[in-house]
Amino acid sequence: MNEKKINSKTCRKTLWYLAIYSRLAVLLFQYICNTIIPDHKAQGVFISPSTEYSDDSIFDRTVAHLLDGFLRWDAQYFLHIYKYGYTYENSLAFFPFYPNLLWILTYIIPGNLNTLFIISGVVVNNILFIVTTIILFDLTLTVHKNIELSLNSSILFCINPAAIFFSAPYSESLYAFTTFYGMYNVYKNNIWKSSILFGISVMTRSNGILNAGFLLYLMIHSAAKRKYKLILKTFFGVLFIFFCFSIYQIYCSYLFCIPREIKYDINVVNYALKHNLFMPNNHTIAEWCGKKLAYTYVQDKYWNVGFLRYFMLKQIPNFILAFPCIFLILNFGINYFYTNRSHIINLGKKKNDFAFIVHAVFLTVFCIFYIHIQVTTRMLASSSPVLYWTCAKYFKFPIYKSKFFLARILSDKKCSLVFFYFVLYFIFGTALFVNFYPFT
C-alpha cells in the first residue's frame, strides 16, 4: 500500500511536468506556424468587430504578435461575448460561463480588452489543463485501480488530438475540468460537489446536460441498495443541473424576447447591418420566442445542425478527419458491451466504468448523426475519459519510464497507430487552426 502511494505521488509529479511541457509546446508551435504560414482566407467566418491592434500600445501589439494565432474560429465568438455580451442572435450558441469567468477575472484591470481576453484566456485554459491532467489520473485510478493505465491515460491527454483547443480561448479546458472532476466526485459520493461542477459544465457547454446521467446512474443503484439519503442528494443534484441549463435559456428569452431600448457600440451595429445579424431591440422579438429553445434555434439557423444534415459528399473530408476518434470509441464500446453483455441487464452493477462507456458511445453516435462531424474530436477529447482509457490500453508499458519507448511503440502496430494519431493531430491540428484552416 505504501509503495502504491509512493508511485502515485511520483506519477503526479511526472504528469505536472509533462502537462506544463505540452502546453509550452503548443504555445511555441502556434507562434511558429502563425508566423511562417500565411493565413487562409476563410469565407463567412465570424470576426468580432474592432479587433485590430494598429492603434494599441507596444505591449498590446506584442501580445497580438505572440498569441494572435489563438484568436481563430469560435474564439472570436467568446471574444465578442467577453467584450459586448450577447448582442447577436448567433452568439447564443456559446454558453456564458467561460467568457464571463474571463470577464470577472479581468474586470478591475485597465487595458485593451482584446489583450486582456487573450492573456486571461490562454493563462486560465493552460492552468485548467494542467490541473485536469492530474484529475484524469486520479479519476482513472479510482475507476480502474490500475496505476499504469492511469498514468498512460493522462500522458495521452497531454498530447491529445484536440490539444490546440485546450490552450486557445475555447471552453474545452474549463469543460474538461468540471466534467472529469465532477465524475471523480460522483465516484467518491461527494454529490454536492459533483452537482456544482456538473452545473458549471452545463453553463459552459450544452452537452454538459448529459453529465446528469452519472448522478441518475448512481441514483438507480442507490435505490436498489435502499440508500435513501444518497437518492435524495442525487435527485436534487440532477435538478440543479437542469436548473443551470434552464437559467441560461431564460436569460436568452429575457434578452431577445422582451423589446427594450439598448445602446450598442457603433461598430457592433454596423457589423450586424453588414452581415444581417439579428440584435435585441425595442421593435421586434426573435422568431424562436415562445416556440423553441434559443440554443436549438440558433444551431438550426446559423449552423444547419440537425439529423443527417451533414451527410453530404462535400463533407467526406471532415468525416475522414473525425474517423479515428469515432472508430476508437465505437470499437471499444461494442467490444465492451459484447464482453460484458451479462452485466448490461443490471446496468453494469459490477463494472465501475459502465456509465462512462455508455456516455462516450452515446455522445459519439450523437456526433455522427447530428452535429458538424469535424467537431467530434474536440468534443470527445474534452467530454469523456474513455478516449484516453481506450488508447492507453494499447500501451503495455509505462510510456514515460521506457528508455526506448519509441522502439517499443513501433514494435506494435496498433500501439504505433494510436501514438502517431495523437502526435500528428497535435502537430497538424495546431498548424491548421492558427492559420484559419478548417480544424474545428
Quick one: pLDDT band at residue 400, thresholds 50, 70, 90? low
Segment 384-395 mean pLDDT? 95
What is the model's pLDDT at position 3?
38
- In this structure, what is the dihedral angle of CA atoms 242, 291, 254, 197, given to the nearest 10 degrees? 20
Instruction: Please tell me whether the overall predicted TM-score, pTM, comes out greater than 0.85 for this model.
Output: yes
Distance of CA 285 to the CA centre of its chain: 32
Supply the DSSP symbol for 412: S
**Average pLDDT, integer, range 221-247:** 91
Task: Please name which of 273, 299, 276, 272 lies closest in space to residue 288, comparing C-alpha atoms.
Answer: 299
Q: What is the dihedral of CA 130, 243, 294, 200, to 10 degrees?
A: -10
Q: Buried (b) or exposed (e) across 345-370, using 16+ Cβ within 10 A?
A: eeebeebebbbbbbbbbebbeebbee
The model's pLDDT over 340-360, given as tens digits with 9 standing for 90+, comes to 877 676 665 666 889 999 999
According to the model, what pLDDT value does residue 224 have?
79
CA dihedral 363, 365, 371, 376 (to 10 degrees): 60
Q: Across the chain, what does the average pLDDT equal? A: 90
Count of CB atoms within 10 A of residue 14's CB? 17
What DSSP letter does each residue of 196-223 carry, written as one string?
Answer: HHHHHHHTT-GGGGGGHHHHHHHHHHHH
Predicted pLDDT at 4: 45
The pLDDT score that the predictor gives to residue 1 is 37
Q: Which residues contact 373 (CB under 8 A, 6 or more apart)?
A: 310, 315, 318, 319, 321, 322, 367
* Tens of pLDDT, residues 141-195: 999 999 999 999 999 999 999 999 999 999 999 999 999 999 999 999 999 999 9
| Residue that the C-alpha cell 452515446 belongs to | 362
Residue 298, H or E segment: helix 294-303
- The residue-averaged pLDDT of 317-325 equals 94
pLDDT at 10: 87
DSSP state of 297: H
SS3 54: coil
In this predicted structure, what is the pLDDT of residue 347? 67
Q: Are the CB atoms for 140 and 385 separated by under 8 Å? A: yes
pLDDT in tens, 153-167: 999 999 999 999 999
Helices (H), 304-347: 316-339, 341-344
Q: Please, are residues 371 and 310 in contact by the beta-carbon 8 Å criterion? A: yes
The CA–CA distances, whole Å, from 413 to 378, 406, 408 equal 25, 12, 10
DSSP string over 372-392: -GGGHHHHHHHH-THHHHHHH
28: pLDDT strictly greater than 70: yes
DSSP 232-296: HHHHHHHHHHHHHHHHHHHHHHHHHSS-------HHHHHHHHHHT-----SS---TTTTTS-HHH
- Which residue from 386, 365, 317 is spatially nearest to 136, judged by alpha carbons? 386
CB atoms within 10 A of CB 225: 10
**Please, which pLDDT band fits residue 283 given cuts at 50, 70 and 90?**
confident
Distances (CA, A) of 83 to 55, 59, 107: 18, 19, 11
The whole-number pLDDT of residue 327 equals 96
Is residue 203 a contact partner of residue 244, using CB atoms and an 8 Å limit? yes
Q: How many CA atoms lie within 13 A of 326 on its CB side?
A: 16
Which amino acid does the sequence have at 155?
I
